[in-house]
């Protein structure tokens, strides 16, 4: 596998799994691009591949126009740092709020992925959900 294969896995992760679209489903894409022993890590703890897949599928239902748009990618060996903007209009119960889709969020995110042989083996991630909640409360 080449560096281009690794970058292609990340592109699919953001544009075909995290971003709601009509061409793919998150489960199919994540099954392909995440390693079997994949681990997602943030301040709340760790999630295995199956838990992340379920979470992303839930986001597609709650945020039917979810976009996760990479703005910058820095690569050093197997490490890929991606700065993104996530945005959308949630419908239903989201982050302790009941929403009808009329309010939107737009937040910054930072992910540090480990990508080997065209598959993502792990990610440390941070999303600015505090700003997103403030935006959703303000309307």
Which of 105, 122, 104 lies closest to 113, judged by CA? 122
Helix (H/G/I), strand (E/B), else coil: 104:
coil
Averaged pLDDT score across all residues of the chain: 95
Percentage of the residues of the chain whose pLDDT score is greater than 70: 99
Which of 116-133 are b and which e, b meaning 16 or more Cβ less than 10 Å from the residue's Cβ?
eebbbbbbbeebbeeebb
Task: Summarize pLDDT for 73-90 with one digit per residue, the tens.
Answer: 999 999 999 999 999 999
The CATH classification number of 3-138 equals 3.10.450.50
* Total-model pTM: 0.93
Q: What confidence score (pLDDT) does residue 1 get?
A: 62
CA–CA distance, 76 with 113 (Å, rounded to integer) = 11
Contacts of 11 (CB under 8 A, 6+ apart): 70
**Per-residue pLDDT averaged across 102-110, rounded?**
98
User: Is the pLDDT confidence value at 29 over 90?
Assistant: yes
User: Is the pLDDT confidence value at 139 over 80?
Assistant: no
Q: How many residues does this entry show for the chain?
A: 139
């Amino acid at each position: 596998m080449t560096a281009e294969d690794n970058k292609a896995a990340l592109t699919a992760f953001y544009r075909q799994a995290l971003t709601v679209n009509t061409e793919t489903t998150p489960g199919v894409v994540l099954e392909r691009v995440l390693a079997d022993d994949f681990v997602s890590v943030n301040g709340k703890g760790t999630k295995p591949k199956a838990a992340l897949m379920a979470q992303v599928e839930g986001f597609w239902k709650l945020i039917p126009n979810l976009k996760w748009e990479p703005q910058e990618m820095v690569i050093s060996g197997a490490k890929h740092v991606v700065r993104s903007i996530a945005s959308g209009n949630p419908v239903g119960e989201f982050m302790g709020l009941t929403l009808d889709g009329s309010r939107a969020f737009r937040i910054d995110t930072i992910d540090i992925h480990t990508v080997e042989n065209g598959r993502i083996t792990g990610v440390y991630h941070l999303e600015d959900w505090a700003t997103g909640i403030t935006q959703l409360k303000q309307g």
